[in-house]
Amino acid sequence: MAESRMALPVTGLYAVVVCLCCGFLERQMWLPMVLLALNSFLMLELNNSNALIRVYSRMVSCSYIVLAVMASFLLSSVRDGAFQMFFVTFFLLLFRAYQDKAAVGLVFYAFMMFGMASTLFAQLLYFLPVVWILLFTNIMAGSVRTFAASLLGLLMPYWCIGGYCLYTGDIDSLVARVSELWQFAPLFDFESLGLHRQLSFCIVTLIAIVGMVHFHRNSYKDKIRTRMLFEIFTTMYLCALVFIVLQPQHFDFLFGMMLICSSPLIGHFISLTSTRLTNIAFIVFLLAVVGVTVFNMLWMY
């Protein structure tokens, strides 16, 4: 299944069926479906352009699609879909700058995508120090020029939005957006999430941890570049996980980050393990995800 060329088309058909069962056609929610398809394509490109799995496999994009439709409470939000699109594009551009300290243009555009994502979710800026460290340590493209390019790219969306707000005289909306950085809710307030989000969170966290353990036990079989990139996915996933535990009020955006960062780890696990135990684990995980998908789908409909 992991190396089948039919895996992605079948998974895509499965996503369409879930969207139809959630009433997307009746509600004419075309844009969320387009964003889901676009994000799935970007995840496919992220896998292909970086050879994340050392065999032919579409499990990275398939894992993302299955988990994304499981979280049907995110599918109906255009804002969440757009945020994920910007975040995946950030990874695509940043990874192309690997070991190239002169890749000023790529770093600029990568951080511009990061800045655009932060205009939708201001708290993403808290991840910025971690991203800068990864730029130097894992991407190995850190220099004075690329650091300056990252700052300019990050500020570009805010310059554009600020200019528009000045033109329309609506400065308060920009100030309100930035002031969200200092708005904190009670810690560990998981009761506000509801059972559907809690179940989805537990499933993704469990599978992602299995994927992390598998990769770090077998990472010696992959190239150094692949190991560096997977360390980025792991680091960003763990940061998002800690953020959700501390501030569950931002669950939807952070969970979207977790889906993107965990999909390569899950895809790597599914594609490169074939023992009896891991095959059983795959079947159990698949049944659990489908079960939660049906549960969330019925609730949404």
Phi and psi of 45, rounded to 5°? -65, -35
Are the CB atoms for 66 and 14 separated by under 8 Å? yes
| pLDDT value at residue 233 | 96
* Residue of 278, 271, 283, 256 whose CA lies nearest to 226: 271
Res. 299 pLDDT band, cuts 50 70 90: low
**Mean pLDDT in the chain?**
89
| Nearest-10 crossing angle of helices 128-137, 144-168 | 150
* Dihedral angle of Cα 138, 140, 144, 146, to the nearest 10 degrees: -80
**Residue 283: which of 207, 170, 229, 177 has the closest Cα?**
207
| Percent of the chain's residues with pLDDT above 90 | 59
Kindly compute the dihedral angle of the four CA atoms of residues 13, 37, 258, 250, in this order, to the nearest 10 degrees: -120
Give CA–CA dist 149/166, Å, rounded: 25
Q: Token pair of 22, please? A: 């959630």
Residue 297: φ, ψ to 5°: -65, -45
The 10s digit of each residue's pLDDT in 36-82 is 999 999 999 999 999 899 888 889 999 999 999 998 888 888 999 99
Quick: pLDDT tens for 82-102.
Answer: 999 999 999 999 999 999 999
Q: Is the pLDDT of residue 301 over 60?
A: no
> What are the C-alpha distances in Å from 139 to residues 89, 99, 230, 232?
16, 6, 11, 9
Chain segment 198-229, per-residue pLDDT in tens: 999 999 999 999 999 999 888 888 899 999 99
pLDDT value at residue 300: 57
pTM listed for this prediction: 0.93
Token pair in block for residue 228: 């560096």
Q: Which two tokens stand for residue 206?
A: 């469990």
Q: What is the pLDDT of residue 176?
A: 72
Residue recorded with tokens 């708005």: 183
Q: Which two tokens stand for residue 262?
A: 């965990």
DSSP structure class, residue 139: S
Mean pLDDT, rounded, for 162-186: 76
Using CA atoms of 128, 134, 140, 143 in order, give the dihedral in degrees to the nearest 10. 30
- Average pLDDT in the 224-248 region? 94
* CB-CB neighbours of 264 under 10 Å: 30
Closest by alpha carbon to 266, among 92, 87, 96, 70?
70
pLDDT tens-digit profile of 15-47? 988 888 877 777 778 888 899 999 999 999 999
Q: In angstroms, rounded to a whole number, what is the distance separating the alpha carbons of residues 104 and 96?
A: 11
